[in-house]
Amino acid sequence: MIQNQIHHLYLASSQFFFQRKKLSLILFFTIISFLIYGHFVFTGKFTACGDFGPAVSYALNFKESFNNGQWIPRWVIFPRDVTFGGGSIDGTAPTIDSPVFQYYGFLQSALAYPLISIGISAIVSLQLIVIFAFTFSGIVLYAAGRVLGANRVVSFLGGYAYVMSPWLISNFYGRGGISESLGQSALPLILLGYAFAIKSMHNKVIISMALAVFILALSHNIFMLYGVVLCGLLIFSNVILMYLNALYVQVVKCFNIKAYADTQKLNQNVANENIKLQIILAAGVLIGLAASSWQWMPALMTLKELSFSYIGNFDVHNPPSRLADLSGAWSFFPKQFVEPWSGTKREFFFTIGWWTIPGIASLFFAKKGLRIAAFSIFLSFIIFFVLTFLPNIIFPFLPGFFGAIQFTFRLLAFLSVLGSFALCVSFPNMSRNIGAIIFILITISQLPVILFHMPDQQFPDVQYLKGYEYNAFYANSTHEKYLRNWYDGWLDARNILNLSNADNIASYLKITGKTRDNVEKVKIFIAKVGDPAHPVSNVIEVQRGRFQALFQINKPEDGLRIYALSGNTKIDLGASLIRPEEVLLLSDPPASFIPATDLTLDESHGYKRVFSINKNKFNVHQPNHNGLYTIELPVIYNKFSVPSQNGVHLNGEVDFNHRLVVTTHSLSSPIIVRYSLPVTVWLISIFGIIMFCSFVGFSLAQSRWRQLRINFNSTPVTIEC
């Protein structure tokens, strides 16, 4: 009896000690992350440069969308009536409740939602989310090291080195990249999954890899894309090892016939294990992609229709901007970056930490049981190193959508996480003294990065809510019936209309805008490109200030351009004599066109909007000769925003202001717009979620059964006589 009690006391004390160690680890990484990423938490402010403003706007709009009934927010609701800078669609105040398809992932907004809901500002909430995210990443990388068999010292050092990586800190404070920070924090999950694969913990492999891909998909589209690339490289490296083993067997066969049989048997075992490892890793990635397909598939399916579709068709001779030169592999100093869209000069640490290259180089000396992991990490690092610092070598051979990365400095996080993990692979038995020295060196070397802030404009939540709209990615008006209109209201620099092949020949062009302040009068007309002396439309003279002009095109054809004349000089619209705020290309007399301002929003909830014509406008509009009206709906065009009237589907098109346009015979019945995904997308998503939950459930059941067996076997059996 006493023996039984002592045994239970030992188990309880051991479990308590183990729980304290886990709690200490969580507490330590939380404190470290707070000290690094929490400098502005108590101020209620943040540097409003780069992507932080849009992130705050997304978080606030997520709250509006979620409260409106969108359990999976895909329509961003803009509850604001002003805009500043280049944040409007057409230069005018945005229409209230004009839903826009949300291209980016919303994980940071979803995590911030509970904090915002209890009254914490979005600015502070997002900073807290980043702190918790990097706490998570440090712990996961520690766990990956421990799974591989590394001791606590180097496993902790690996997690700490990643959290302290210079680019991660610079990206947060310098760019305000909240969604990128979430993506960066999920990368260690991939390495944890790979560590499980090396140790043949198959269920945990699938769970870790699927969860990594799922989190990346909900955090940042680019990180999901390149996260899958990293997973593929880890799988591909094992394929290479299989061929190397096969080659080794052939060499043995040629020079040592006696040892051939044993070597072939060993190689076959290694090959079988490698194939199993590849299948398990691939299964985890595919389940993660399937479970998150409701997020990334609609974005991929509409990529060519978005205003930034040009980044998916980059010139093979002009790959994404490097901005991080080779000095980033060892440099301790920031590098100046000039924003191409604003000309603003900023300084960033485009570096990966001085410990990264030594950690990767030391993989050559990895112990026998870790050589597979060492080879995979080394190969993956080399590929990402070339993508980051020498993009001209690889990017010309990649599909165009890889150009969505725009700037290769985004890949620095991949190099940092691989370099930090390499410490665990190369030095699994690092002593406390060596670990303490490296810890101190990393801390001291990173202090300049942590303290190097770039204060900029600082706004309260309400201004963030009103100030950012262009990041929602509006529909691309490149259909040949329409001109492209950039987010800031300017027409495309080409300023070309191609009208001869349009389905409905366009006859009218309506421009609302204002002239430059330094001109008294401007004559505006339409003519062939390079031939302004022969207008194909009426010529309208407008006074300085705001104007509205309606042009009838006498001869619709290709290669037309809008020209403006001031004095004796004819220059096209791109020369900024006038600034258009709204441009409508009409195929019918203007009376048959009903703008969004003439509509009333009757119902707005979740994924449904119901519109009707303002009763005061019934007598203003007349149908065209075919009895049709053209209606501009206050919904940003997207192929998944489906309009209908009286249960009949209406064909939707995109207009100059990126809004959804439909044609109908009736103005008496309301028009309903719903967000609707193809059934295939939902089926794939449901399949992925079911598979993921099945593996989680099976893993928990297996773990519980193992614990029951341990308890049963460890319980002393007493026999009473």
pLDDT(17) > 50: no
DSSP label at residue 476: P
How, if at all, do strands 531-535 and 521-528 pair?
antiparallel
pLDDT of residue 370: 86
pLDDT(134) > 90: yes
Q: 219: Cβ–Cβ under 8 A, 6 or more apart, which residues? A: 105, 107, 108, 179, 180, 182, 183, 186
pTM here is: 0.77
Reduced to 3 states (helix: H, G, I; strand: E, B; else coil), residue 164 is: coil
Q: 661: Cβ–Cβ under 8 A, 6 or more apart, which residues? A: 630, 631, 632, 633, 637, 652, 653, 654, 655
Mean pLDDT of 292-297: 90
Q: How far is CA 549 from the centre of its chain?
A: 41
pLDDT(207) > 90: yes
- 144: nearest Cα among 442, 404, 370, 413: 370
Contact 453, 47 (CB under 8 A): yes
- Amino acid (1-letter code) at residue 674: R
As beta bridge partners, residue 269 has none
Reported as a single tens digit per residue, the pLDDT across 594-604 is 877 788 888 88
Task: Please indicate whether residue 521 or residue 2 has the higher confidence score (pLDDT).
Answer: 521
DSSP 199-235: TT-HHHHHHHHHHHHHHHHHH-HHHHHHHHHHHHHHH
Look-up of token digits 């062939």: 528
Contact 220, 105 (CB under 8 A): yes
DSSP label at residue 108: H
Reduced to 3 states (helix: H, G, I; strand: E, B; else coil), residue 551 is: strand
Q: How far is CA 6 from the centre of its chain?
A: 55
Task: Please indicate whether residue 657 or residue 504 has the higher confidence score (pLDDT).
Answer: 657
Contact 180, 104 (CB under 8 A): no
Percent of the chain at pLDDT above 70?
68
Q: 704: Cβ–Cβ under 8 A, 6 or more apart, which residues? A: none
pLDDT of residue 11: 47
The sheet that has 508-515: what strands, in order across it? 546-552, 508-515, 578-586
Look-up of token digits 């001791």: 151
Task: Please indicate whether residue 380 or residue 543 has the higher confidence score (pLDDT).
Answer: 380
pLDDT of residue 383: 93
**Dist. CA 221–CA 306, nearest whole Å:** 14
pLDDT(211) > 80: yes
Instruction: Show the CA angle centred on residue 422, arms to residues 387 and 271, nearest 5°.
Output: 85
Task: Please indicate whether residue 3 or residue 122 has the higher confidence score (pLDDT).
Answer: 122
Q: How far is CA 189 from the centre of its chain?
A: 17
pLDDT of residue 289: 95
Q: Helix 257-291 vs helix 202-219: angle between axes, to the nearest 10 degrees?
A: 40
Task: Please indicate whether residue 296 or residue 92 has the higher confidence score (pLDDT).
Answer: 296
Q: Determine how many CB atoms are found less than 10 A away from the CB of residue 15.
A: 10
Mean pLDDT of 321-348: 61
Strands (E), 380-488: none
pLDDT(489) > 90: no
**Dist. CA 325–CA 643, nearest whole Å:** 49
- Amino acid (1-letter code) at residue 578: I
The mean pLDDT value of the chain amounts to 75
Reported as a single tens digit per residue, the pLDDT across 47-68 is 656 677 778 877 877 887 788 7
Helices (H) and strands (E) in the chain, counts: 18, 21
Band of the pLDDT at 283, cuts 50, 70, 90?
Answer: very high
pLDDT(458) > 70: no
Instruction: Locate 414 and state its tokens.
Output: 């991949």
Highest mean pLDDT among 101-115, 295-309, 450-464: 101-115
**Dist. CA 122–CA 103, nearest whole Å:** 20
pLDDT of residue 48: 57
CB burial class (10 A; 0-12, 13-18, 19+) of residue 115?
Answer: middle
Instruction: Locate 366 and state its tokens.
Output: 């990895």
Instruction: Show the CA angle centred on residue 683, arms to residues 679 and 688, nearest 5°.
Output: 150
**Dist. CA 294–CA 221, nearest whole Å:** 13
pLDDT of residue 319: 52
Highest mean pLDDT among 84-88, 194-198, 498-502, 711-715: 194-198
Distances 362 to 14, 80, 287, 329, 491 between C-alpha atoms, Å: 36, 55, 34, 16, 55
